[in-house]
């Protein structure tokens, strides 16, 4: 229920139904880690959804900041996250802030992240960084080191993020290209810089950036490439044209070959 999953377009009951279904599926996949996208502009709704996810056995929540009042202060955001952490997150629960200012219009500042980490060292454990800002990726690594788990959210910056001490990634294109992400990860762990694999991600991401927003195109490709259901998107998004898939898909496959 993040961006690709259109989480903010789903009602509370729909989100919880998805969470329950996935929790049931984990019985056959005991090693699977489950992160729930739970952020809404309403603190009370976010508390309820987040607490419900942990009650279902989820490992962590990835939480958007309240994204309606875009000029909220750091103190206001700290108060919002503090009440969420106090009222919805168990002692063994974990929260990642979801930093995606191009979509939310709300940034999680370095000062805010530091304060949350200092105040909740065992609960506020990381950030999903979908800012798309290479300088910000470097700043996060330089400031926090290994003290804050950073999960890169932009495929084009994956290698840079790893060099800046990121712990991994949660990206839109990982739904389609996770083997390439894994190659970059494995080579990084071995001390190698895999420019070829990163260039493939860059080329694929550039194609998707030409046809925003991403969720309709990703779901169309999942259907064409892997036989998954041809899921419809929720308004205000519109389904990707089948004729356009015929044009773009060959370009995409050429970029990653």
Report the catalytic residues. Answer: 3, 68, 98, 128
94 beta partners: 60
- Alpha-carbon dihedral sign for residues 104, 173, 34, 9: positive
Q: Which residues pair with 152 in a beta bridge?
A: 129, 169
Beta bridge partners of 95: 61, 124
Distance CA 197, CA 171 (A): 15
Q: Which two tokens stand for residue 85?
A: 């952490």
Beta bridge partners of 151: 128, 168
Alpha-helical regions (H) of the chain: 12-25, 43-55, 74-88, 101-104, 110-119, 134-144, 158-163, 174-189, 195-209, 214-226, 242-256
Contact 136, 152 (CB under 8 A): no
CA separation, residue 146 to residues 42, 155, 161, 183, 226 (Å): 31, 21, 13, 22, 36
Contact 20, 57 (CB under 8 A): no
Beta carbons within 10 angstroms of residue 193's beta carbon? 13
Q: What does DSSP say about strands 60-63 and 94-99: parallel, antiparallel, or unpaired? A: parallel
């Amino acid at each position: 229920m993040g961006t690709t999953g259109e989480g903010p377009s789903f009602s509370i009951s729909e989100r919880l139904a998805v969470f329950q279904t996935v929790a049931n599926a984990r019985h056959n996949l005991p090693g699977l880690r489950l992160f729930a996208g739970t952020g809404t502009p309403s603190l009370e709704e976010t508390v309820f959804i987040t607490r419900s996810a942990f009650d279902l056995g989820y490992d962590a929540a990835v939480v958007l900041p309240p994204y309606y009042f875009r000029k909220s202060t750091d103190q206001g955001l700290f108060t919002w996250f503090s009440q969420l952490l106090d009222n919805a997150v168990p002692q063994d629960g974990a929260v990642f802030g979801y930093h995606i200012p191009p979509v939310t219009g709300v940034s999680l500042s370095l000062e805010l992240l530091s304060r949350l980490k200092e105040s909740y060292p065992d609960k506020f454990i990381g950030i999903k960084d979908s800012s798309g800002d290479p300088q910000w990726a470097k700043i996060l690594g330089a400031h926090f080191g290994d003290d804050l788990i950073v999960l890169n959210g932009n495929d084009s910056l994956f290698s840079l993020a790893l060099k800046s001490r990121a712990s991994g990634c949660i990206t839109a294109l990982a739904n389609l290209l996770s083997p390439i992400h894994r190659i970059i990860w494995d080579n990084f762990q071995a001390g190698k810089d895999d420019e070829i694999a990163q260039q493939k991600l860059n080329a694929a991401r550039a194609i998707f950036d030409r046809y925003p927003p991403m969720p309709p195109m990703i779901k169309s490709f999942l259907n064409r490439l892997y036989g998954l259901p041809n899921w419809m998107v929720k308004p205000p998004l519109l389904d990707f044209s089948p004729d356009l898939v015929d044009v773009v898909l060959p370009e995409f496959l050429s970029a990653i070959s």
